[in-house]
Amino acid sequence: MRADSTFYWAPRAWLGERWQHQVLLEAGANGHWQAICPGVAAPPVGAVVLQGPVMPGMVNAHSHAFQRAFAGLTERREGPHDDFWSWRERMYRVALRITPAQLRAVATHLYVELLRGGYTQVCEFHYLQHQPDGSAYADPLALAWSLVDAAAAAGIGLTLLPVLYERAGFTQPALRDEQRRFATSADSVWAAQRHIAGAARLLVNAGLAIHSLRAAAPASLQRLRTLAEDFDGPIHIHVAEQLQEVDDCVSATTARPVQWLAREGLLDPRWQLVHATHVTPAEIDAVAASGAAAVLCPSTEANLGDGLTDLPRWLASKTPLALGSDSHITRAWCEELRLLEYGQRLALRQRNVGAAPSQGQPATAARLFSHLSGGGAAAAGHRLWGLVPGARADLLVVDTQDHALLGVPDDHLLDALVFSSPGRPWRDVIVAGRFAIADHRHVGADRIGQDFAAAMQTLWAPSGA
Catalytic residue among 306, 310, 326, 402: 326
Is residue 106 within 8 Å of 66, Cβ to Cβ?
A: yes
Q: Whole-angstrom Cα distance, residue 71 to residue 329?
A: 5
Helical segments of 78-174, H only? 84-95, 100-116, 142-154
Neighbours of 79 (CB within 10 A): 6
- Give yes or no: 326 in active site: yes
> Which are the contacts of 277, defined by CB distance < 8 A and separation ≥ 6?
240, 241, 242, 301, 306, 307, 308, 309
Amino acid at 179: Q
Half-sphere CA count of 391, side-chain side, radius 13 A? 24
- Give yes or no: 130 in active site: no
The DSSP string of 50-89 is -SS-EE--EEEEEE-GGGGGGTTSS----SS---HHHHHH
Angle formed by the axes of helices 142-154 and 100-116, nearest 10° = 30
Catalytic residue among 109, 126, 275, 382: 275
Q: Whole-angstrom Cα distance, residue 465 to residue 459?
A: 8
Q: Whole-angstrom Cα distance, residue 380 to residue 321?
A: 12
DSSP state of 135: P
Please give the backbone phi and psi of residue 445, each rounded to the nearest 5 degrees, phi first. Answer: -60, -40
Q: Whole-angstrom Cα distance, residue 213 to residue 332?
A: 29
Q: Whole-angstrom Cα distance, residue 58 to residue 121?
A: 7
**So which residues are the catalytic ones?**
275, 326
